[in-house]
Amino acid sequence: MLNRECTKAYKIPDTDIVLEKGILTVIPVFALHHDPKYYPDPERFDPERFSEEEKAKRHNYVYLPFGEGPRICIGMRFGLMQTKVGLVSLLSKYQFSLSEKTPVPLLIDAKAIFLSPVGGMWLQIKQRAK
């Protein structure tokens, strides 16, 4: 979720709702990222959603993993690089597969503060041969 303070009065289009200056707002990023209006079949794994062609078809502020604009996460580049380096390090040394304990399909706990699957996500990890 992104928290923002309204800097000037804003009327939400097609409604009678006015957000007054100074009111705190919450942007539900998970809801945006799973809205079928912007992402058809949002639960399906589809890396092509992020191709330059597909990104050009949708509004700039619909994909906000690090926020956007002047208040975008200052650690975005570091976080992305750290994730890539960590994945390369782990995947080069270990082989990962789902455990029988992991429910398929994964169900997300709607009541959790952080994105987490109901019942957890259990993995089997085997060291790769050297």
Span between the terminal Cα atoms of the chain, in Å: 42
pLDDT of residue 113: 75
Phi, psi of 102 (to 5 degrees): -80, 120
Is residue 73 marked as binding? Answer: yes
pLDDT of residue 116: 87
Q: Can you tell me the distance from the alpha carbon of 103 to that of 115, in angstroms, rounded to the nearest whole number?
A: 16
The H or E element that residue 80 is part of is: helix 76-93
Q: Which of 21, 23, 39, 20 is nearest to 31 (CA)?
A: 39
Q: Can you tell me the distance from the alpha carbon of 52 to that of 33, in angstroms, rounded to the nearest whole number?
A: 17
pLDDT of residue 111: 78
Per DSSP, 129 falls in state P
What percent of the chain is predicted at pLDDT more than 90?
58
List pLDDT tens digits, range 68-96. Answer: 888 889 999 999 999 999 999 999 999 99
Phi, psi of 11 (to 5 degrees): -95, 125
pLDDT of residue 1: 79
∠40-44-50 over CA atoms, to 5°? 70
Q: Is the pLDDT of residue 11 over 90?
A: yes
List pLDDT tens digits, range 35-48. Answer: 999 999 998 889 99
pLDDT of residue 108: 85
List pLDDT tens digits, range 18-35. Answer: 999 999 998 888 888 889
List pLDDT tens digits, range 47-59. Answer: 999 999 999 999 8
Q: How many CA atoms lie within 13 A of 45 on its CB side?
A: 2
What is the separation of C-alpha 111 from the centre of its chain, rounded to a whole number of angstroms? Answer: 16
